[in-house]
Amino acid sequence: MTASSSPEYLTVVPEIAGVGPVSAWGLLRLRQQLERGLPLTPRPYQALAELTGLSEQEVMAAIRQWQDQGLIKRFGLVVRHRTLGYTANAMVVWDIPDNQVLNLGRTLARAPFVTLCYQRPRRLPDWPYNLFCMIHGVDRQRVLSQLATLIADQGLEQTPHAVLFSTKAYRQRGGRYVSHD
């Protein structure tokens, strides 16, 4: 379960290379700006500094700290796979005995084409599945053959599962928690 606590981005950035306490509002604004991505100018952190009232050093220190804390889980290029031609997306759901689900989840997560792997609760009788994997592929056939490989490799032939291909994306965007809905 996700515990909602006091927002961590309001914590003060500690002393890092001459950076002292930082304005909480500046950090909040920084987070809002960062959700739009890094500006494409030669000194992007300086550009963010001007937008947030922080200094360039403070911006960089805050980003490094958020990376260390895991608040930023990945600081890299965010690719739209659909544009590249990865048009098939399957949510594969499994009904795994409770005493095996943790280990199997860890195993499936390591498959190179599995992008997400989550445990969620069953909702009987309508929903018996407790493990969810997302597989992205260039086309449906390729996704199904990757899945067949996975099933054979892991001996999952007898494991109840369902493949839910997506047929339409009505909305697809990163969550925005600090902007107002």
Report the site for other proteins in 101-160 (rule: CB under 8 A). Answer: 102, 105-106, 108-110, 112-121, 123, 126-127, 130, 132, 136, 138, 142
Phi-psi sector, 85: left (phi>0), alpha (psi -120 to 50), beta: left
Retrieve residue 90's tokens: 């399957």
Minimum distance from CB of 150 to other proteins (Å)?
A: 13
Minimum distance from CB of 97 to other proteins (Å)?
A: 15
- Which of 92, 95, 90, 91 minimizes the C-alpha distance to 130? 95
Ranges within 25-44 binding other proteins (CB under 8 A): 31, 34-38, 40-44
Minimum distance from CB of 20 to other proteins (Å)?
A: 19
Retrieve residue 68's tokens: 């260390």
Retrieve residue 111's tokens: 């498959």
47 binds other proteins (CB under 8 A): no
Q: Which stretch binds other proteins (CB under 8 A): 12-20, 147-155, 171-179?
A: 171-179
State the Cα–Cα distance between residues 156 and 161, nearest whole angstrom.
Answer: 9
12 binds other proteins (CB under 8 A): no
